[in-house]
């Protein structure tokens, strides 16, 4: 990829993207620019990746072809004030990539005062271990080539799914927030095993590997999750009794409610 990529914000998601791109050989370290709020974060990124560090966001945007906004939503207005000063003409041949939940393309246009070619991406924390899932939507005026370049970036640390912008809040819930739900589920499985006498370290290993393997079966077999569930549930066996216990406690409804709660909150950001 013969592009300069600038990161405003160098936290977990930016680190996942930078690490993935460098491991895949998509770009060289000298083609990545970055800035962060603290000197400690800037120094860590420079030492870990060998990228070029600048001390102002406008400088990153000015020098980059693709500008990745990887700061938390509450800092976006502050950051955009600096980027707005570059003017509409400066963005003619640039692409803005936002990793923020809840901030729509319309919001960006109003905040900047002019439209910019833009892609919204919603990665999740498993990107840190190369198993991320990213939802992506593209604004009008973004070329197919530019969209493919950004997809290469996100594919470097997992999978990418294209969706219309109206579903980005749902992506944030089912992909962005769900790892926390899965971690809670793994912890609960392990707690149950510990209550039955198993050492905690073994319980975590067994629970985590079972979740990992189950997810891989869904992705690789193409079978419906219900069909895979039925394969495990022998008539009159132990597993179907566990399924009944989960259903009695409204396990499905709780999971669905969690997604709805995340979507509702995202729409208010």
Q: What is the CA radius of gyration of the chain?
A: 21
71 is in an annotated binding site: yes
User: Is 64 known as a binding-site position?
Assistant: no
Residue 35 annotated as part of some ligand binding site: no
Strands (E), the chain: 5-8, 32-35, 52-53, 66-69, 95-98, 118-122, 132-138, 158-162
Please check if 11 is assigned to a binding site: yes
57 is in an annotated binding site: yes
Is 163 labeled as ligand-binding? Answer: no
Tell me: is residue 99 an annotated ligand-binding position.
Answer: no
- Sheet of 32-35: strands edge to edge? 52-53, 32-35, 5-8, 66-69, 95-98, 118-122, 132-138, 158-162
Q: Is 12 annotated as a binding residue?
A: yes
Residue 9 assigned to a binding site: yes
70 labeled part of a ligand binding site: yes
Q: How many CA atoms lie within 13 A of 107 on its CB side?
A: 15
Annotated binding-site residue? 110: no
Task: Enumerate the β-bridge partners of residue 118.
Answer: 96
Which residues are annotated as part of the binding site? Answer: 8-13, 57, 70-73
Which residues are annotated as part of the binding site for NADP(+)? Answer: 8-13, 70-73
Which residues are annotated as part of the binding site for NADPH? Answer: 57
């Amino acid at each position: 990829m013969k592009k300069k990529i600038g990161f405003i914000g160098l936290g977990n998601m930016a680190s996942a993207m930078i690490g993935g791109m460098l491991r895949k050989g998509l770009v060289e370290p000298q083609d990545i620019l970055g800035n962060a709020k603290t000197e400690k974060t800037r120094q860590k990124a420079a030492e870990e990746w060998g990228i070029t560090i600048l001390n102002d966001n406008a400088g990153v945007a000015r020098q980059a072809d693709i500008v990745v906004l990887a700061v938390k939503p509450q800092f976006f207005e502050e950051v955009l004030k600096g980027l707005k000063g570059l003017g509409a003409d400066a963005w003619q041949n640039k692409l803005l990539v936002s990793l923020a939940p809840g901030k729509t393309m319309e919001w960006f246009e109003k905040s900047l005062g002019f439209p910019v070619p833009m892609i919204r991406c919603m990665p999740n924390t498993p990107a840190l271990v190369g198993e991320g899932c990213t939802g992506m939507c593209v604004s009008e005026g973004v070329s197919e080539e530019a969209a493919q370049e950004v997809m290469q970036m996100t594919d470097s640390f997992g999978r990418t799914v294209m969706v219309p912008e109206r579903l980005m809040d749902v992506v944030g819930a089912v992909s962005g927030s769900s790892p926390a739900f899965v971690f809670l589920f793994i912890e609960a499985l392990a707690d149950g095993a510990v209550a039955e006498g198993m050492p905690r370290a073994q319980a975590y290993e067994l629970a985590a590997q079972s979740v990992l393997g189950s997810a891989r079966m869904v992705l690789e077999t193409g079978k419906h999750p219900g069909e895979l569930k039925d394969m495990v549930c022998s008539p009159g066996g132990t597993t179907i009794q566990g399924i009944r216990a989960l259903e009695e406690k409204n396990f499905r409804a709780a999971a669905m409610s969690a997604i709805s709660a995340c979507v509702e909150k995202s729409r208010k950001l």
